[in-house]
Amino acid sequence: MQVQKAELVISAPNRESWPESALPELVLAGRSNVGKSSFINAITGRKKLAYVGNTPGKTRLLNFFNIDDRYMFVDVPGYGFANLSKAQLIAFGEMMEDYFANRIQKKGLLMLVDARHLPSEDDLGMLEYARYYEIPVCIVATKTDKVQASKRYHMLKQIRNALNLKSDEVLIPFSAQTKEGVDEVWEQIIKIMET
């Protein structure tokens, strides 16, 4: 999809600041440093829409992006960052619980995992939210350019198994560097958002 407009609507610290909007929403989640900002930039064709940096897990806000007045992307702060306090972990859990339980615009979860590593407990927890609230999921395995061709099939299979993906839960190999997977990602997003 050719994106014309991609705008940050608000960085919301709490429910009161979630935007009033009827657009269907796609939650984008993943561990810190998984390549989420690079992913958002790659699929929207922007260079600096979402900040790409070396300091992982800084934001604790839900970032709502208006995509062509058609979808809202809800960028979740990267989780699984070791330096979080227990209070911060609880606050994060409450923020996500609040969103999934109460936001009627939610339509799907797109979760990013690093193609070189097995998913974490936090990834599984995020997936559980989606399954519990019965919203469709799409998994994106990032940084495939860093995976040796001979190991690729095995890695992807291991990720599928670790997440216990069902046959209708798609796993898309992706690289922000080579742009592998951009078309497949849009195909899935459109499917999730428009059914």
Ligand X SMILES: Nc1nc2c(ncn2[C@@H]2O[C@H](COP(=O)(O)OP(=O)(O)OP(=O)(O)O)[C@@H](O)[C@H]2O)c(=O)[nH]1
Q: Which CB, 150 or 195, lies closer to ligand X?
A: 150
Closer to ligand X by Cβ: residue 60 or 133: 60
Per DSSP (E only), the strands in 4-57 are 6-12, 25-30
What's the closest the beta carbon of residue 45 comes to Mg ion, in angstroms?
17
Residue 79 has a CB neighbour count (10 Å cut-off) of 21
Q: Which of 11, 105, 158, 177 binds ligand X (CB under 6 A)?
A: 177
- Comparing CA positions, the residue from 105, 86, 104 lying closest to residue 94 is 86
Nearer CB in complex with Mg ion: 32/188: 32
Instruction: Identify which of residues 146 and 154 has a Cβ nearer to ligand X in the complex.
Output: 146
Interface residue with ligand X among 18, 25, 38, 188 (CB under 6 A) is 38
Site residues (CB under 6 A) for ligand X, limited to 59-78 = 78
Q: Is 104 in the site for ligand X (CB under 6 A)?
A: no
SS3 140: strand
List the Cα angle 18/103/172 in 5-degree steps: 100
Query: Could you tell me how many residues of this chain bind ligand X (CB under 6 A)?
Result: 20
62-67 and 25-30 as β-strands: parallel, antiparallel, unpaired?
A: unpaired
Q: How far apart are CA 30 and CA 80, in angstroms?
A: 9
Which residues contribute to the site for ligand X (CB under 6 A)?
Answer: 30, 32-38, 52-53, 56-57, 78, 142-143, 145-146, 175-177
